[in-house]
Amino acid sequence: MSAAGRVRGGVFVTIDGMGGAGKSTTTRQLRQRLIEAGYDVHATTQPSQDQLGRIARKGTDTYTGHALACLVAADRYHHLATQIHPQLAAGRIVLCDRYVASSYVLQRLDGVPLQFIENLNAAADRPDLAVILTADPDVAATRIAHRGAHSRFEAGPQTSRQEADLYRDTIARLADHGYPLLSLDTTHTPTDQIVTLLTSRIAQLAALPPPQ
């Protein structure tokens, strides 16, 4: 994974995790908390809201396996170049709901070999902080059932158990790639506490001088 390739200015934070672990809610509340604290924040998501991202996001029933993995990766690189890099260069904190960790999990659920996924994402920037939210699989599946599934990747308790196993493996693999990881279990921890912890960690990163 690449630590180079972008102008360092702001702080790049990614938030990945199991379906039902609270990624989108956490990202939304974290953005608001950071803005209230006086930070300049840009929140985004992958797949992005650009054309490639919309195809990947809305086409999970049409595109599968290697094809979907390539769509997601193409959108990721375009999103980095056209939106994330400029926002970071302007000195903003960028919060990205889903990033490389999600590809390591969802694409493997879709039958794509790990080596292919690693090669496909090898040039993606390392974030300054990679947050991964986990939860007890049965709790996550219950939350999904209450809010409704977002895609075929949220297909009940068995899928949640597979996700949990793959995220544990992904945490170890990304750590080997030098990712600065923070794994948080949301099973019994309120979102407000998660957001408070993340706000403190991001404030520490924002206070660090850029590398020479």
- Give me the tens of pLDDT residue by residue for the chain, a chain 212 residues long: 444 444 457 999 999 999 888 899 999 999 999 999 999 999 999 999 999 999 998 888 899 999 999 999 999 999 999 999 999 999 999 999 999 999 999 999 999 999 999 999 999 999 999 999 999 988 888 887 777 556 555 556 778 889 999 999 999 999 998 899 999 999 999 999 999 999 999 999 998 765 54
pLDDT of residue 57: 87
Q: Which among 105, 128, 131, 129 is positioned nearest to 118, based on CA atoms?
A: 105
pLDDT of residue 78: 98
8 A C-beta contact, residue 72 and residue 56: yes
Task: Give the integer Cα–Cα distance in Å for 74 and 67.
Answer: 11
pLDDT of residue 155: 56
pLDDT of residue 211: 52
As a residue count, the chain comes to 212
Domain ranges of the chain: 11-207
Q: Name 134's bridge partners.
A: 185
pLDDT of residue 209: 63
- Kindly give the residue spans of alpha helices, DSSP state H, lying in the chain: 23-36, 51-58, 65-79, 85-89, 100-109, 114-120, 137-147, 157-176, 191-207
Written as six digits, the tokens of 182 are: 């923070």
Domain 11-207 has CATH 3.40.50.300: yes
pLDDT of residue 84: 97
Q: What is the DSSP string of 133-145?
A: EE--HHHHHHHHH
pLDDT of residue 158: 78
Q: Name 132's bridge partners.
A: 16, 183
Residue 11 class from Cβ within 10 Å (0-12 exposed, 13-18 middle, 19+ buried)?
A: buried
pLDDT of residue 150: 61
Q: Name 156's bridge partners.
A: none
Intra-chain end-to-end CA distance of the chain, in Å: 20
Under DSSP, is residue 23 helix (H, G, I), strand (E, B) or coil?
A: helix
